[in-house]
Amino acid sequence: MTITLQAIEKEYARIGAMIAGFRKRAQQRDYRVDAVTVPLAAGERFAGVILKDDGTLSHYLILLPGNADDLNWNDACKWASEQGGDLPTRREQSLLFANLRHEFDERYYWSSDRPEENSGWAWYQTFHRGSQYYAHQDYEFRARAVRRFVPPEA
């Protein structure tokens, strides 16, 4: 087979079209959202969606009614469990601040997360600025409980 300029140009055009197609597909992403019913009990508030690192659904977050004042971290965890939930994670607290800020006083609220490097400490969130810090677990802050809803597989 003899190589000609015309054959090279034809192959170059074919490869260019392939590259353009790949670029287009790389930019196009569809995200499917299935219809789901999130069951809410009286007083519960839907907070939003928590995604996994890959962008897929982790769970729906529901804020439970009521709060507790002046609890250390261990007592706050116990209180949240007694409400049928847990303390929210830091990530969940960020969602609560974004979507349900009005449900919180401008105070400090315990998170369920603890910093790896400091045992005896736990993270909390301020709901007047949205900042997150950690403090010794003996400090007394407020607590809110959440529950997580993962829809059954279709």
User: What would the pLDDT profile of 104-113 be if each residue is shown by its tens digit?
Assistant: 999 999 999 9
Domain over 45-149 is classified CATH 3.10.100.10 = yes
Alpha-carbon distance 36 to 111, whole Å? 27
Give tens-digit pLDDT for 39-86. 999 999 999 999 998 888 899 999 999 999 999 999 999 999 999 999
Where are the domains positioned within the chain? Answer: 45-149
- The distance of Cα 98 from the centroid of its chain, to the nearest Å, equals 11
Alpha-carbon distance 126 to 108, whole Å? 5
For the chain, the C-alpha Rg in angstroms (whole number) is 25
Give the length of the chain: 154
* pTM, to two decimals: 0.78
Q: What is the largest CA-CA distance in the chain?
A: 85
